[in-house]
Amino acid sequence: MIFVTGGAGFIGGNFVLDWFARSGEPVVNIDKLTYAGNLDTLTPLRVNPAHVFARGDIGDRGFIGALLRQHKPRAIINFAAQTHVDRSIQRPDHFIDTNIVGTFHLLESVRDYWSTLAPGERGAFRFLHISTDEVYGALTLDDPPFSEAAACRPSSPYSASKASGDHFMRAWHHTYGLPVVTTNCSNNYGPYQFPEKLIPLTILNALNGKNLPVYGDGLYVRDWLHVSDHCAAIRRVLEAGRPGEIYNIGGLNERRNIDLVHAICAILDEMQPLPDKSYAQQIAFVADRPGHDRRYAINIDKIRRELGWAPKISPDQGLRETVRWYIENRDWAQNAVSAAVISRQEASAP
């Protein structure tokens, strides 16, 4: 039995689906179902008795403690987080509540449970914390990619809140001996991603005849990692990652935002052509967001050397498959947006 937190979100949901495609080991899937959590992602598992869904907050120690005592997992994989930089600029308090305070309470719940295990079970237990390359800050166009030894220099409320969680992981391992492993990944893409992020937003706006917004000059560079490759890396870290260590997980796929948007438009021109124009004519440069980091890139030498992992999905293959998925699953995206509106209304209700 393993626990997955945030398992109705984009990466967590893909991980749970991938897990059951490869394993029969049961999963308790914990998600608060905020706007980005979507049970539709988990539809294939609704009749699978090995998948137990529990709606709740990682910061609720009574709730988490009861689940731990009942199910006795051998590992926790923590995907639960607020993740969108733009939202963190507008409402940093939400990110502090989840990514800092919630992470602290989850750690304490897990430490209480872990301390009750027999010595052999304590040694085998793992807490995997899924984090981001953004905790390292920004690179210039000429800088080498971030290694695990890079200084932690976050530059947005989102990345600062995730960096705080990373520091907690290191401290709880050093002070209490909790067998924590942290992974820092680059930008993920693939199916089931909430439509506020660049790739699904571009695809769906294009299909709906809307502008394709590109921040600033469009020359911001990100390293794009297909979510399936990320899931494979996490499984490998769970199998053999060393407690107390950090593993960077990247796609080896740096692209400028404007080039990525043009690539999506070219694929759409082929798969879903318009009668009289290219989708690229819908591109619209918009005012930049505050504190926009110029470039992120990840050095994966450590995880490749120690655990034998490297991305397998080529950038062109991954992008084409992603575009096709959103073309074929527009109902999922529309339902996700509709559910998010209801979630925000419920959250703001007195």
- Single out the catalytic residue among 31, 108, 134, 166: 134
- Single out the catalytic residue among 35, 113, 136, 158: 158
- Single out the catalytic residue among 31, 57, 133, 166: 133
Q: What angle do CA 27, 29, 35 make, to 5 degrees?
A: 155
The verdict on whether 158 is a catalytic residue reads: yes
- Strands 27-31, 212-215: pairing is unpaired
Dist. CA 258–CA 273, nearest whole Å: 20
Dihedral angle over CA of 65, 107, 14, 303, nearest 10: -140
What is the three-class DSSP state of 55?
A: strand
For the beta carbon of residue 295, count every other beta carbon within 10 angstroms.
18
The verdict on whether 134 is a catalytic residue reads: yes
Nearest to 153 by CA among 175, 172, 170, 138: 138
Residues 252/300, Cβ–Cβ less than 8 Å: yes
**What does the block give as tokens for 79?**
């995907």
The verdict on whether 229 is a catalytic residue reads: no
Dist. CA 270–CA 302, nearest whole Å: 39
Q: Which residues are catalytic?
A: 133-134, 158
